[in-house]
Chain A
Amino acid sequence: MNARTGQLAMAAWLVVVWVMLWGSVTPANVLGGVAVAAALLLVFPLPPVGSPGIFRPFALVRFLGFFLIELVRSSLRVAALVVRPRSQMHQAVLAIPVRAASDQLLTLLANAISLTPGTLTLEVDRPGSTLYVHVLDVGPGPDGVDRARADIRRIERLAILAIGSAECRRALDEDDRSLR
């Protein structure tokens, strides 16, 4: 996707958002949207977002479903913590490498991880394709860190299956095999 197509796609998306914000599809709204989008893209020429839009509908639905369930679980976990605040929370910052990740995948994962129980994305290392995730409580045992990593892996896998490139999926399979 070269810069020109990327910009046009972005402009189209901006017009859609503009019209939705105004609530009705009238010629005035659409023209206003086009004008605003054009002005924005002239002032802020955004760089093209690298990869072609990979999009596997079924996997995406699975990812969204899992994500929503995790969001509810995380909110319930906060409720439990509120009732009985644990004085000892073993916090940790874990490195989660996501090999051959596109911009969209890294962003989606970073956001999703922030909304799953006990995890918050702290730092994104784009050149190294790594997320640094703050975990609220890895538990006192020695394998707590590994368990936390495995939890994060679950949503990582679903995200990669939904919008990861073929290369990314291969890297994921390799990692799985080496872990077994």
Chain B
Amino acid sequence: MTGRDVLDVLSAVLLLSGVAFSVVAGLGLLRLPDVFSRMHAATKPSTLGLALILSGAALRVEDRGDAATLLLVGVFQFVTVPVGAHMIGRSSYRAGTGALDDLVVDELRDSDGGRPAG
């Protein structure tokens, strides 16, 4: 069992678990009842899944530079996906799409915090 075989097995595990989480994300997007819960589903498992897949691919790729690129894209995703979700959530909240009519607590409305111009 050479070193490369070990890496291949590890890579296979990473790829498969990443795909599993991506499927979870797709299922969540479809099955969950309202916009905001779907946003939760769209961000967390899909980011984790993608990170796992990129790591698995980085282990298989022969050129170190390419592996670094894959990992860099993964890190980049950790920054951009939450920011994207935040912006979508914020615009949904402000537009008042009605999905948030029955909150237990809404401290944002109570405080009128930070509404900058655009």
A/B touching: CB–CB < 8 A: yes
| B→A interface (CB under 8 Å) | 21, 24-25, 27-28, 31-33, 36-37, 39-41, 43-45, 47-49, 63, 65-66, 68-69, 72, 78-79, 81-83, 85-86, 89-90, 93, 100, 102-109, 111, 113-114
Q: Is the interface of B mostly helix, strand, loop or mixed?
A: helix
Tell me the complex Cα distance, A117–B24, Å: 15
| A residues less than 8 Å from B69 (CB atoms) | 20-21, 23
Would you give 23 A-B contacts (Cβ < 8 Å), ordered by A?
Answer: A17-B72, A20-B72, A23-B69, A24-B65, A72-B48, A74-B40, A75-B48, A75-B49, A78-B45, A79-B28, A81-B37, A85-B33, A91-B102, A91-B104, A93-B105, A111-B82, A114-B85, A125-B113, A126-B114, A134-B36, A134-B89, A136-B36, A144-B104
Q: Given the known inter-chain contacts A75-B44, A85-B32, please indicate yes or no for A93 contacting B82, CB distance below 8 A.
A: no
Tell me the complex Cα distance, A112–B65, Å: 28
| A→B interface (CB under 8 Å) | 17, 20-24, 71-72, 74-75, 78-79, 81-82, 85, 87, 89-95, 110-112, 114-115, 117-118, 120-128, 130, 132, 134, 136, 138, 144-145
Q: Given the known inter-chain contacts A75-B24, A85-B31, A136-B36, please indicate yes or no for A115 contacting B43, CB distance below 8 A.
A: yes
- Cross-chain contact A128 with B113 (CB below 8 angstroms): yes
Known contacts A78-B25, A111-B78, A115-B43, then 15 further A-B pairs from the complex at CB < 8 Å, ordered by chain A residue? A17-B72, A21-B72, A24-B65, A78-B40, A78-B44, A82-B32, A92-B103, A92-B106, A93-B100, A110-B86, A123-B93, A124-B86, A130-B114, A134-B89, A136-B40
A-B contact count (CB 8 A): 143
- Cross-chain contact B43 with A114 (CB below 8 angstroms): yes
Tell me the complex Cα distance, A111–B31, Å: 25
| A residues less than 8 Å from B25 (CB atoms) | 78
Set A82, A95, A138, A144: member contacting B31, Cβ < 8 A: A82
- Cross-chain contact B85 with A79 (CB below 8 angstroms): no
